C-alpha cells in the first residue's frame, strides 16, 4: 500500500489468529502519518518550552520537530524509535546543547562548592577569633585581679606602716610627722579611688548605675577639680594649668560622674608622663558641643592601641605603660559616662608626644 501525499511506503501489520476461524487481523501504520497524528501531540506536551524533540529519517530526508519555527541545533543525542527502527528520536535543549548545559552546571557546581568552602573557612575563622578573644579576655581578667590585689595591698601596707610608726612615737620631728600624715592621706585617697572605680564598674556592668542630670557650668566643675589636684600635682613637679573658655552655655550633666571622668584622665596623664611633666585642662565650645580637654606631654598612644583603650581591662603591655599601676578600667568608665551624657570622646595622640582627650557634651539637647 502507498500514501502518495506523504510518500511513505512503510507499514506495520499486527496479526491476530482468531480461534476456529481462518482470519488474520492487523493494522497498517504509515510511519510519517503516525508521527504527525499520534506522536506529535505527546511530543509537544513533553517538550513544552524547554526541549525540542525531533523524529527523523536521514535516508528519506524527513524530520519532525516538536517546536515549529524554533531553530534546532545539531542533534547530538539520538536513539532508534522502537516501533520504527529506521526512524530516530533526538532531543535538543532550547538555546543550548546538552554539552553546554552540562558544562554550565559543572561551572555552577564548582562555584557553589567554592562558596561553601569559603563560608566554611570564614566560619572556622570566626570561631577561632571568638575562642581567641575569650582566652585573651580570661587572661586580661586574671591580670586585672592580680593588678587590683596589688593596688589594694600597696596603699594598705603604707597606711599600716606609717600609722604604726606614728602610734609608737618613733618620729621625733614635727616635719617628719607631717610628711607621714601626708603620705597616709594620699594613700587613703588612692585606696578610695580604686574602690570607687571597681564599684562604679560593677554598677555599670550590671546596668544599675544611676545618673542625676542637672544644668551645670563646666568651668565650675573643672575649677573644683583643678583646685583639688593643684597642690598634689605641683608636689610631683607637674606643670598643671587650667584655661577656662568664655560664654560656655550650661549643659545637663551629672557633676559627680563628670568629676570622676576628669579624675581618671588626670590620673592617666600622671601615670604615663615621663620626663615632660605637663598637664593642661581647657574648656570651650565646638559647634553644638561644649567640651573639656585634658592634654599631657607623656608617652602617647599608638594608633593601633587607640582602637582598644576604651575596652574594659585593656592595658598596653610594653614600655612605661607596663610599669604603671592601674586597673585598666579608668577609660572604660570615662566612655560609659560620656555615653550616658549622649556625648563623644575625641583622642589625639602620638607616640612620644603625649595625648589629648576631649570630652564633648551636646548643647542642643538643652535648648
In this model, does residue 70 exceed pLDDT 60? no
Angle subtended at Cα 148 by Cα 146 and Cα 152, rounded to the nearest 5 degrees: 120
Q: Using one digit for the tens of pLDDT, what is the confidence trace for 124-137?
A: 999 999 998 888 77
Task: Extract the C-alpha cell encoding 154.
Answer: 600597696
pLDDT score recorded for residue 358: 95
pLDDT score recorded for residue 292: 95
pLDDT score recorded for residue 105: 82
Which has more pLDDT, 256 or 91?
256
DSSP 8-state secondary structure symbol assigned to residue 2: -
Q: What is the mean pLDDT of residues 339-357?
A: 91
Task: Extract the C-alpha cell encoding 354.
Answer: 603625649
Q: What is the mean pLDDT of residues 25-42?
A: 72
Neighbouring residues of 98: CB distance < 8 A, sequence distance ≥ 6: 76, 77, 91, 92
pLDDT score recorded for residue 80: 78
pLDDT score recorded for residue 352: 85
Q: Is this model's pTM higher than 0.85 or not? A: no
In this model, does residue 76 exceed pLDDT 70? no
Sign (positive/negative) of CA torsion 193, 194, 195, 201?
positive
pLDDT band at 5 (very low <50, low <70, confident <90, very high): very low
pLDDT score recorded for residue 65: 72
Through-space distance between the first and last CA atoms of the chain, rounded to whole angstroms: 106
DSSP per residue, 276-331: --EEEEEEEEETTEEEEEEEE-SS---HHHHTTTTSTT----SHHHHHS---S-HH
Of 2-16, 36-50, 138-152, 173-187, least confident by mean pLDDT is: 2-16
Average pLDDT for the chain: 79
State how far the Cα of 198 lies from the Cα of 240, in Å rounded to an integer: 27
3-state secondary structure of 56: strand
State how far the Cα of 109 lies from the Cα of 116, in Å rounded to an integer: 10
Q: What is the mean pLDDT of residues 285-308?
A: 89
Q: How far is CA 203 from CA 196, 197, 263, 302, in A?
A: 10, 10, 19, 30
pLDDT score recorded for residue 279: 93
In this model, does residue 257 exceed pLDDT 80? yes
Q: How much of the chain is in helix, strand and coil states, percent to nearest 5?
A: 50, 20, 30
Contact of 112 with 120, CB cutoff 8 Å? no
In this model, does residue 13 exceed pLDDT 80? no
State how far the Cα of 71 lies from the Cα of 297, in Å rounded to an integer: 82
Neighbouring residues of 325: CB distance < 8 A, sequence distance ≥ 6: 147, 150, 151, 154, 271
In this model, does residue 112 exceed pLDDT 80? yes
In this model, does residue 282 exceed pLDDT 60? yes
Please name each of the domains of the chain with its CATH number: 1-95 (no CATH), 100-202 (1.10.287.130), 210-366 (3.30.565.10)
Number of helices and strands in the chain (H, E): 9, 11
pLDDT score recorded for residue 185: 85
pLDDT score recorded for residue 3: 40
How many CA within 13 A on the CB side of residue 51? 15
Alpha-carbon torsion angle 167, 170, 175, 176, nearest 10: -90
Contact of 240 with 203, CB cutoff 8 Å? no
Q: Using one digit for the tens of pLDDT, what is the confidence trace for 167-185?
A: 888 877 888 888 888 888 8
In this model, does residue 38 exceed pLDDT 80? no
Q: How far is CA 293 from CA 154, 244, 270, 355, in A?
A: 31, 10, 15, 10
In this model, does residue 223 exceed pLDDT 70? yes
Amino acid at each position: 500500500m502507498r500514501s502518495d501525499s506523504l510518500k511513505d511506503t512503510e507499514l506495520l501489520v499486527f496479526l491476530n489468529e482468531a480461534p476456529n476461524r481462518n482470519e488474520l487481523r492487523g493494522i497498517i501504520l504509515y510511519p510519517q502519518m503516525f508521527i504527525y497524528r499520534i506522536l506529535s501531540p505527546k511530543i509537544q506536551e513533553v517538550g513544552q518550552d524547554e526541549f525540542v524533540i525531533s523524529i527523523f529519517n536521514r535516508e528519506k530526508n524527513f524530520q519532525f520537530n516538536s517546536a515549529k519555527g524554533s531553530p534546532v541545533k545539531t542533534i547530538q543525542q539520538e536513539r532508534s524509535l522502537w516501533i520504527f527502527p529506521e526512524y530516530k528520536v533526538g532531543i535538543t535543549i532550547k538555546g543550548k546543547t546538552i554539552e553546554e548545559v552540562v558544562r554550565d552546571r559543572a561551572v555552577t557546581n564548582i562555584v557553589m562548592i567554592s562558596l561553601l568552602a569559603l563560608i566554611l573557612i570564614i566560619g572556622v575563622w570566626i570561631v577561632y577569633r571568638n575562642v581567641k578573644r575569650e582566652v585573651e579576655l580570661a587572661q586580661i581578667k586574671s591580670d586585672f585581679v592580680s593588678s587590683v590585689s596589688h593596688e589594694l595591698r600597696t596603699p594598705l601596707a603604707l597606711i599600716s606602716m606609717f600609722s604604726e610608726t606614728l602610734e609608737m612615737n618613733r618620729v621625733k620631728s614635727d616635719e617628719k610627722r607631717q610628711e607621714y600624715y601626708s603620705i597616709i592621706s594620699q594613700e587613703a585617697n588612692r585606696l578610695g579611688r580604686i574602690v570607687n572605680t571597681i564599684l562604679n564598674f560593677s554598677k555599670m556592668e550590671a546596668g544599675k548605675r544611676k545618673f542625676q542630670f542637672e544644668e551645670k557650668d563646666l568651668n565650675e566643675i573643672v575649677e573644683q577639680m583643678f583646685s583639688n589636684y593643684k597642690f598634689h600635682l605641683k608636689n610631683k613637679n607637674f606643670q598643671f594649668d587650667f584655661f577656662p573658655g568664655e560664654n560656655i552655655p550650661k549643659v545637663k550633666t551629672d557633676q559627680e560622674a563628670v568629676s570622676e571622668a576628669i579624675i581618671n584622665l588626670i590620673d592617666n596623664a600622671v601615670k604615663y608622663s615621663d620626663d615632660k611633666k605637663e598637664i593642661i585642662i581647657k574648656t570651650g565650645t565646638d559647634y553644638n558641643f561644649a567640651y573639656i580637654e585634658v592634654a599631657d606631654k607623656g608617652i602617647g598612644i599608638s594608633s593601633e592601641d587607640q582602637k582598644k583603650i576604651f575596652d574594659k581591662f585593656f592595658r598596653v603591655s610594653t614600655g612605661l605603660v607596663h610599669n604603671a599601676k592601674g586597673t585598666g578600667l579608668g577609660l572604660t568608665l570615662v566612655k560609659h559616662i560620656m555615653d550616658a551624657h549622649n556625648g563623644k570622646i575625641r583622642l589625639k595622640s602620638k607616640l612620644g608626644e603625649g595625648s589629648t582627650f576631649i570630652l564633648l557634651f551636646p548643647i542642643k539637647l538643652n535648648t
